[in-house]
A and B are shown apart, each in its own frame.
Chain A
Amino acid sequence: MKVFLKVWRQKNRNTPGTFKTYTSPELNENMSFLEMLDVVNEDLANNGEEPIAFDHDCREGICGTCSLVIDGKPHGPHRGVATCQTYMRSFKNGDEIVVEPFRAKAFPLIKDLVCDRKSFDRIQQVGGFITVRTGAAPDANSIPVPKENADLAMDAAQCIGCGACVAACKNASAMLFVAAKVSHLGLMPQGQPERYKRVKAMVTQMDEEGFGACTVTGSCEAVCPKEISLDFIARMNRDYAVALLKGDAKAATSGGAG
């Protein structure tokens, strides 16, 4: 099979980009979408044209590095599948396929199809953790976790941090991403002491990064390669409201003695 690609090419952030069209070499339907791009890139390189820059790493749907908006959909045609696990058998011989980067203010473009998602890390750095010093942990079985809670926490914890939720959202909101982390930790007994502080800090940082507001259209859930549920956003909103009502906890006058 052969396909026609309409690909976004942009040298860097300061140079305007444009779509360019390429005809693929002969393909095999068992190739992954990224293997198809590999083949196209080898062809370009052999003809002296710089290959198309795209992000990828594990190629098994877990590292969250790959991105791409394929025919208008982040991660391509299938539900619950990342770009790297999309196979050419999902396309027909002669198809024209439009390939673009994830576009959002908080994900500035680096080159061609590669964008910068460090804003996600910064949100995690302000509260996406349970404060526990190495070596200070009690025996693992001393804190039982109801299986239902552990399973639900795992559903949220599966987020791969790819940013498709942001790319799909008309407001470029990061609510699903943030809600997944807040819910995962908030569902575990270990996560309770910092539960409300965490949600406030992460939401504040999310807003500062320039992500948009959530209007619950659900496009994030529809494209999430791990099918993370919109319910987690409701859960986060609840925690956030409680956190606002509670206000900032004031510590009793501390320390100094001795």
Chain B
Amino acid sequence: MATLNSNIPSGPLDQKWEHHKFSTKLINPANKRKYKIIVVGAGLAGASASATLAELGYEVHNFVFHDSPRRAHSVAAQGGINAAKNYQNDGDSVHRLFYDTIKGGDFRAREANVHRLAEVSVNIIDQCAAQGVPFAREYGGLLDNRSFGGAQVSRTFYARGQTGQQLLLGAYSALNKMIGAGGVKSYTHSEMLDLVVVDGHAKGIIVRNLQTGEITRHNGDAVVLATGGYGNVYNLSTYARGANVTASWRAYKRGACFGNPCYTQIHPTCIPVSGDYQSKLTLMSESLRNDGRVWVPKRKEDCGKKPADIAEGDRDYYLERMYSAFGNLAPRDIASRAAKTVCDEGRGIGETGLGVYLDFSAAIARLGEDKVRERYGNLFSMYHEITNESAYQTPMRIYPAVHYTMGGLWVDYNLMSNVPGLFVLGEANFSDHGANRLGASALMQGLSDGYFVLPATISGYLATQNPGKRPATDNGSFKQAEENVQTLTKRMLGNKGKRTPDSFHKELGKLMWEYCGMARNQAGLEKGIKAIGALREEYWKNVSVLGEATDWNQSLERADRIGDFIELGELMCRDALMREESCGGHFREEYQYTPDDPETKQGLVNPGDVKRRDDQFAYVAGWEYAGAADKAPILNKEPLVYEEVKMSTRSYK
């Protein structure tokens, strides 16, 4: 059994981080340069961590599978980044951002981590502004804000509909500065395929050069994974096509526990699926819900009509009706489930019946088309390119899609996994969003982890390691790990199967969406586990990978990643089956509020809302690999202890 010690510092919640930074051991400047740190990934978390660690004087080696560190999918985040600046004077504070985030996560995140995130949020905005990130501004030259889901204040900073791009380019510029200065060595087209563990500590990685196929060993005093989320397990998602779980999964197979894998975010406003050929789904930013109103026809019979032909009185603005206090800005999990509910009732729109309207006519009437264009122009044109429809003239059609994973590798307060020396940042870790992430919080977490948290905590671990004494790459563990990668590659290329890797990915995606999607139940999950297990077995018998190992080979890249997704899918179903409660994005049909529950009668929740079971499930599930893919993984638990807030019924009414 692994030990999951959260290492949360003692003391009052709002002083923990300050005290912890003081009590964490430091490394003197002369010794810092003797430590080599491997960082995998260059999204917001990886780029900001690499740059900052190098500024501190550590020797940093950064690895990305992309052709450039600027391509990570952080680049695609549209809407914004939260920070408790209270520039709007509307009642915001660190405590309010903390509370909104804890509540938004349905009381399944760690208090201390979330409070730290809220504290650090203000420094992030300062940092990014100083880097020259062109945030939206008011006429006086000061920063502008907008609102996002799950909050009643305007605390979201933004750069048109391309906030993620601008923040990533900011972090990329900081990284470039340090590459130019020689503090960071950058490896591009380099994919991590194994973690090297020496005497129980993470001390290196095995990497495949995607251009040449060469497999190389890299040692370090610590390894940092900032490799993103795993939503592509569903095949169709808003993730980039290349986003994958392989780095995290290989670390899991080396002993790192996987935290809450079933916590998946399904984003309410994406462009609906149009056909079987589809490779990805496109998000329409949550910021649109500031001005757009979500509705479906009240009557099934009206679903085939043009939206303009449906009278105002025949429309059901269901979010405004069900969650009057937050309305169209209800949190993502709630808005997504509500869309599913109305579609299940037969009131969905569009060819497939799996869609709802997001309507801007009221905003255009109120603000004028020009103002709406200024705020959302790029999103409207993106919508037009994909659907060939103008959202200025007719409502957008939207439907929920997989967007983010709150689960990830388990880490303690220092962002270190249960394997000493292995740190995990950003979406790749499980830590700050509980069972549901609020909008504009992912950018905040990625940059918080990379700029401010890891650089302060990593010295605590390094101080326990002798400077300049990391194991050399001829150590037996490096040899074994490299052989492991070579064997796997040979096995895939030598397989005389009949099916392409992508055909397995599609099949896996359908199983996951069916059994481990927006609504889950015991029978379905049991079926899912069986079916995915069978798919795993077939994969290794029947996958066909063309091309060579010593060449640019995209089939081989995909085959590696899809094999890992299949195993992960099984673990997600197991986690969802084990968690016999509903919370945030994890909706178990067996556990929902009924009209007879006291909370429903008091008007706190609607029938059908998620029902937690704090007495039995107030813990983080940390799954431990049991040594083989067909062996049931071991469940470890980290209890969630709330000192400051009370775990209460999450009400947005």
Tell me if A35 and B140 are in contact (CB < 8 A).
no
Is B15 close to A, CB under 8 A?
no
Report the minimum CB–CB distance from B641 to chain A (whole Å): 31
Is B555 close to A, CB under 8 A?
yes
Query: Do A50 and B385 contact each other (CB < 8 Å), given the known contacts A57-B242, A59-B241, A116-B67?
Result: no
CB contacts (< 8 Å) of A45 on chain B: these are 500, 544, 546, 555
Tell me if A132 and B127 are in contact (CB < 8 A).
yes
Query: Do A57 and B241 contact each other (CB < 8 Å), given the known contacts A62-B162, A132-B130, A190-B132?
Result: yes
Give the size category of B's interface with A: 35 or more
Q: Hey, what's the 0/1 contact readout for A130-167 against B, CB within 8 Å counting as 1?
A: 11111111111101111100110110011011000000
Report the minimum CB–CB distance from A64 to chain B (whole Å): 7
Contact of B71 among A63, A129, A139, A191 (CB under 8 A): A63
Tell me if B126 and A62 are in contact (CB < 8 A).
no
Residues B381-402 near A (CB distance < 8 A): 381-382, 385-386, 388
Is B313 close to A, CB under 8 A?
no
CB contacts (< 8 Å) of B130 on chain A: these are 130, 132, 136-138, 140, 143, 190
CB contacts (< 8 Å) of B68 on chain A: these are 117-118, 120-121, 161
Tell me if B552 and A114 are in contact (CB < 8 A).
yes
Report the minimum CB–CB distance from A237 to chain B (whole Å): 21
CB contacts (< 8 Å) of B547 on chain A: these are 50
CB contacts (< 8 Å) of B159 on chain A: these are 154, 157
Q: Which residue of A lies closest to B55 (CB)?
A: A133
Is A196 close to B, CB under 8 A?
no
CB contacts (< 8 Å) of A30 on chain B: these are 274-275
Report the minimum CB–CB distance from B511 to chain A (whole Å): 19
Query: Do A140 and B85 contact each other (CB < 8 Å), given the known contacts A53-B552, A154-B160?
Result: yes
Report the minimum CB–CB distance from B250 to chain A (whole Å): 21
Is B89 close to A, CB under 8 A?
no
Q: Which of A27, A35, A117, A130 has the most CB of B within 10 A?
A: A130
Tell me if A144 and B141 are in contact (CB < 8 A).
yes
Tell me if A60 and B546 are in contact (CB < 8 A).
no
From A81-89, A168-176, A228-236, the one touching the partner chain is A81-89
Contact of B132 among A53, A62, A125, A191 (CB under 8 A): A191
Is B234 close to A, CB under 8 A?
no
Query: Do A130 and B131 contact each other (CB < 8 Å), given the known contacts A32-B279, A42-B502, A125-B179?
Result: yes
Tell me if B129 and A28 are in contact (CB < 8 A).
no
Is B188 close to A, CB under 8 A?
yes
Is A58 close to B, CB under 8 A?
yes
Report the minimum CB–CB distance from A187 to chain B (whole Å): 8
Q: Which of A28, A78, A154 has the most CB of B within 10 A?
A: A154
Q: Hey, what's the 0/1 contact readout for A36-56 against B, CB within 8 Å counting as 1?
A: 001100100110111101011
Is B33 close to A, CB under 8 A?
no
CB contacts (< 8 Å) of A34 on chain B: these are 279
Tell me if B240 and A134 are in contact (CB < 8 A).
no
Is B174 close to A, CB under 8 A?
yes
Report the minimum CB–CB distance from A82 to chain B (whole Å): 10
Q: Which residue of B lies closest to A58 (CB)?
A: B240
Q: Which residue of A lies closest to B499 (CB)?
A: A46
CA A116 to CA B307, docked complex, whole Å: 47
Query: Do A161 and B70 contact each other (CB < 8 Å), given the known contacts A128-B176, A130-B131, A134-B452?
Result: yes
Report the minimum CB–CB distance from A1 to chain B (whole Å): 12
CA A109 to CA B69, docked complex, whole Å: 19
Is B625 close to A, CB under 8 A?
no
From B22-30, B164-172, B327-335, B577-585, the one touching the partner chain is B164-172
Tell me if A131 and B279 are in contact (CB < 8 A).
no
Q: Which residue of A lies closest to B56 (CB)?
A: A134
Is B142 close to A, CB under 8 A?
yes
CB contacts (< 8 Å) of B162 on chain A: these are 62, 158
Tell me if B75 and A118 are in contact (CB < 8 A).
no
Tell me if B503 and A42 are in contact (CB < 8 A).
yes
Is B422 close to A, CB under 8 A?
no
Residues B165-222 near A (CB distance < 8 A): 165-166, 169, 172-174, 176-177, 179-180, 186, 188, 211
Query: Do A150 and B382 contact each other (CB < 8 Å), given the known contacts A60-B280, A124-B173, A125-B176?
Result: no
Q: Which residue of B lies closest to A205 (CB)?
A: B180
Tell me if B169 and A63 are in contact (CB < 8 A).
no
Tell me if B174 and A129 are in contact (CB < 8 A).
yes
Is B264 close to A, CB under 8 A?
no
Q: Which residue of B lies closest to A143 (CB)?
A: B129
Query: Do A141 and B142 contact each other (CB < 8 Å), given the known contacts A158-B165, A161-B68?
Result: yes
Is B73 close to A, CB under 8 A?
yes
Tell me if A12 and B500 are in contact (CB < 8 A).
no
Tell me if B176 and A124 are in contact (CB < 8 A).
yes
Tell me if B73 and A63 are in contact (CB < 8 A).
yes
Contact of A12 among B274, B452, B552 (CB under 8 A): B552
Query: Do A46 and B143 contact each other (CB < 8 Å), given the known contacts A12-B551, A55-B67, A62-B165?
Result: no
Tell me if A11 and B551 are in contact (CB < 8 A).
yes
Is B134 close to A, CB under 8 A?
yes
Tell me if A138 and B126 are in contact (CB < 8 A).
yes
CA A22 to CA B70, docked complex, whole Å: 33
Contact of A60 among B70, B76, B140, B169 (CB under 8 A): B76
Report the minimum CB–CB distance from B392 to chain A (whole Å): 17
Q: Hey, what's the 0/1 contact readout for A63-102 against B, CB within 8 Å counting as 1?
A: 1110000000000001011000101010000000000000
Is B278 close to A, CB under 8 A?
yes
Q: Which residue of A lies closest to B130 (CB)?
A: A137
Tell me if A157 and B71 are in contact (CB < 8 A).
no
CB contacts (< 8 Å) of A9 on chain B: these are none
CA A61 to CA B78, docked complex, whole Å: 12
Q: Which residue of A lies closest to B552 (CB)?
A: A111
CA A215 to CA B648, docked complex, whole Å: 66
Report the minimum CB–CB distance from A231 to chain B (whole Å): 16
Q: Which of B73, B131, B502 has the most CB of A within 10 A?
A: B131
Query: Do A132 and B76 contact each other (CB < 8 Å), given the known contacts A57-B240, A58-B240?
Result: no
Tell me if B69 and A121 are in contact (CB < 8 A).
yes
CA A157 to CA B385, docked complex, whole Å: 22
CA A116 to CA B596, docked complex, whole Å: 63
CA A216 to CA B579, docked complex, whole Å: 63
Tell me if B455 and A57 are in contact (CB < 8 A).
no
Is A199 close to B, CB under 8 A?
no
| 6 closest A-B pairs by CB | A144-B141, A137-B130, A129-B173, A140-B129, A137-B126, A125-B180
A-B contact pairs, 20 of them (CB 8 A): A45-B500, A50-B547, A51-B555, A63-B71, A116-B211, A126-B180, A130-B173, A133-B55, A134-B55, A134-B455, A137-B126, A137-B130, A138-B126, A138-B130, A147-B137, A153-B132, A154-B134, A154-B166, A190-B131, A190-B132
Residues of chain A at the chain B interface (Cβ within 8 Å)? 11-12, 27-28, 30-32, 34-35, 38-39, 42, 45-46, 48-51, 53, 55-65, 78, 80-81, 85, 87, 89, 110-111, 114, 116-118, 120-121, 124-141, 143-147, 150-151, 153-154, 157-158, 160-161, 184-185, 188, 190-191
Known: A61-B385, A63-B240. 19 other contacts (CB 8 A): A12-B552, A34-B279, A38-B502, A46-B500, A48-B546, A57-B66, A58-B71, A58-B75, A63-B72, A80-B381, A110-B211, A121-B69, A126-B180, A129-B174, A134-B55, A137-B127, A140-B85, A154-B166, A184-B134
